[in-house]
Amino acid sequence: MIQLYHVYKKYPEDITALSDITFKVEKGDFAFLTGPSGAGKTTLLRLLFFEEKPTSGQILIDGRNLTKLPKSRIPYFRRNIGFIFQDFKLIAEWTVYDNISFVLEVLGVAKKEIRKRVIRVLGMVGLQNKIAKKIQTLSGGEQQRVAIARAIVKEPKILLADEPTGNLDPDMACEIMELFYEINVRGTTVIVATHNMALIKRYGGRLISLKYGRLAA
Ligand SMILES: Nc1ncnc2c1ncn2[C@@H]1O[C@H](COP(=O)(O)OP(=O)(O)OP(=O)(O)O)[C@@H](O)[C@H]1O
Ligand SMILES: [Mg+2]
């Protein structure tokens, strides 16, 4: 369902963030994207979310060629993808509720249903009691969990998570990983970028390993 063919991503001043990346992730897979800092993990996820275009090569999602997707189709295409950003990208002055409900409002979900779903996902990440708090009053780990809730509330077909446990203590990291597995079992394809090898060893799954922008394994 996700296919990359000879994908390159170059930035100005001769930085090659990704070099000749070819791999496939099947529908319903659980995959880890790993590699040291600067290896290209975030860059790769951003290409899959259509935040950037590859310099060359092809990316297909569900058979659709992303390199040929017109800009106007991007919001529609993103409906099916949940993205947990490494730096969260939450709106600091908004409440937890507003940060999450916003996603469903854009999709035209009814008010009552929105409330039900936001409460449910906040329960899943253990933040029911923070629903009316502003983001700027939360700890780093709590903000990370809001970012996770926001990504899963629309029940996406694909979940892309960029270092989603970076700010969590080991117990909370395990709970979040369990949550990803539950979501995966229900049919969502999950790709988790992390350099936390302990997490990978513990949970297994498919491993896509990057080094200096190249596939290492
Ligand atoms: N917008 C950009 N402009 C120029 N260079 C960039 C840009 N984004 C990323 N890079 C470079 O591309 C390379 C890969 O970066 P990327 O953020 O994908 O690494 P990463 O594997 O996610 O690292 P980390 O584990 O630290 O998050 C790095 O050398 C980085 O400096
Ligand atoms: Mg990164």
- All structural domains of the chain with their residue ranges: 1-80+156-217, 90-155
- Indicate whether residue 18 lines ligand 1 (CB < 6 A): no
> pLDDT digits over 171-215, tens only?
888 888 989 998 999 999 999 999 888 888 888 788 999 999 999
Name the average pLDDT for the chain. Answer: 93
The CATH class, in words, for 1-80+156-217 is: alpha beta
- Counting ligands in written order, the one closest to the CA of 211 is 1
The three-class DSSP label of residue 122 is: helix
SS3 state at 12 = coil
Sheet order of strands, 81-84 included: 81-84, 158-162, 189-193, 30-34, 206-211, 214-215
Which atom of ligand 1 sits closest to the CA of residue 9?
Answer: 12
User: Element (H or E) spanning 120, and its range?
Assistant: helix 111-124
Q: Is the CB of 9 under 6 A from ligand 1?
A: no
Cα gap 10→47, rounded to integer Å: 12
* Digit-coded pLDDT (tens) for 84-120: 999 999 999 999 999 999 999 999 999 999 999 999 9
pTM of this structure: 0.94
- Strand, helix or coil at 19? strand
Q: Which of 8, 28, 19, 9 is nearest to 191 (CA)?
A: 28
What is the 8-class DSSP label of residue 129?
G
**DSSP bridge pairs for 25:** 2
